[in-house]
Amino acid sequence: MDLIPVTDLKQWTYCARIVYYHRVMPALAKPTFKMKEAIAAQDLIESLEMRRGLKEYGIETAGRRFGVWLKDTALGLSGKLDLLLESADQVAVVDFKLTSGEPGDNHRMQLTGHSLLAETATGLPARRGFLYRIPDGRVFPIEITDALRQSVLAAIKGIRRVSEEQSLPEATVVRGRCVECEFANYCADVW
Ligand code: SF4
C-alpha cells in the first residue's frame, strides 16, 4: 500500500486541493520559498533543542532522538519526526515550526500523525506532543485527543479517496491562503 506522508495530513487540513495537486498532478508542483526555508531550518533544530532542558516537556528522564523516520503500514502512514522523546512509560513528539503565528489545526494534525507513528514504533502511549516555534523558542504543549486521532484517520481516508478517484476537493474556505499558493493559477474558481 502507498504510504501517505504525515506532511500530507498537514496540507490536507490547510487546503485539501494542495494534496490533490501534489498527488494527482505532481508535475505542477515546484519548491516554494517556504519549502526551501523549511529544509534549511532542519539544520538548526538539533542545536536549538540541545540548549533546552527536558523539564519543559514534563518528561525529564526521556531520551532524545532527532530526525527519526517511521512508518505504520497498517495505518498507511509514514513520516520524519523532528524530535522523539522516549521514557520508560511514554513517548512525545516535538515538531518544529518556522512561522511566528499560533499553532493551527494543520500543525495539530501533523503532530498527531507523528504521535500515532511513535506509538506504533515504541508500543508506548503519546498523550501529549509539543510544537516548538523556532522564531521565539516558545514551546506549545498539545494534547493528543481522541478527536485529533479520529481526524487523522478521516484525513487518511479522504486522501486515499482523492488519489484513487482523482476528484478535485473543495477549495479552502480561507481564501487568503490562495494568494501565495503555488497552485493559484489552477484554481480559477476561487478568484
Ligand atoms: S489556490 Fe487556494 S484553493 Fe487552490 S490549492 Fe491553493 S490554497 Fe487551495
* 138: CATH: 3.90.320.10
- Count of structural domains, the chain: 1
Beta-carbon contacts of 130 under 8 Å, excluding residues fewer than 6 positions away, are 57, 92, 93, 94, 95, 111, 139, 140, 141, 142
Ligand 1 contacts (CB < 6 A) are 15, 17-18, 171-172, 177-178, 181, 183-184, 187, 190
14 CA closest ligand 1 atom index: 7
Work out the angle at residue 99's Cα, subtended by the Cα atoms of residues 110 and 131, and round it to the nearest 5 degrees. 45
pLDDT at 137: 86
Mean residue pLDDT across the chain? 90
Average pLDDT on 25-47 reads: 66
Q: Which three cell numbers stand for residue 54?
A: 527536558
Distance (Å) from CA 158 to ligand 1 centroid: 17
Per-residue pLDDT tens for 69-112? 999 999 999 999 999 999 999 999 999 988 889 999 999 999 99
Distance (Å) from CA 3 to ligand 1 centroid: 24
Pairing of strands 91-97, 128-133: parallel
CA neighbor of 14 nearest in space, from 131, 144, 157, 180? 180
Distance (Å) from CA 18 to ligand 1 centroid: 6
Distances (CA, A) of 167 to 81, 83, 126, 146, 163: 30, 35, 34, 29, 8
Distances (CA, A) of 31 to 16, 64, 69, 135, 175: 18, 30, 22, 22, 21
pLDDT at 32: 59
- Cα 86 versus chain centre, distance: 19
Q: Which residue has the cell 525529564?
A: 60
Distance (Å) from CA 183 to ligand 1 centroid: 6
Percent of the chain with pLDDT over 90: 70
Average pLDDT on 15-25 reads: 94
* Structural domain of 176: 4-190
Give the closest residue (by CA) to ligand 1 atom 2.
Answer: 178
Contact 118, 81 (CB under 8 A): yes
By most ligand atoms within 8 Å of CB, the mutation choice from 14, 17, 185 for ligand 1 is 17
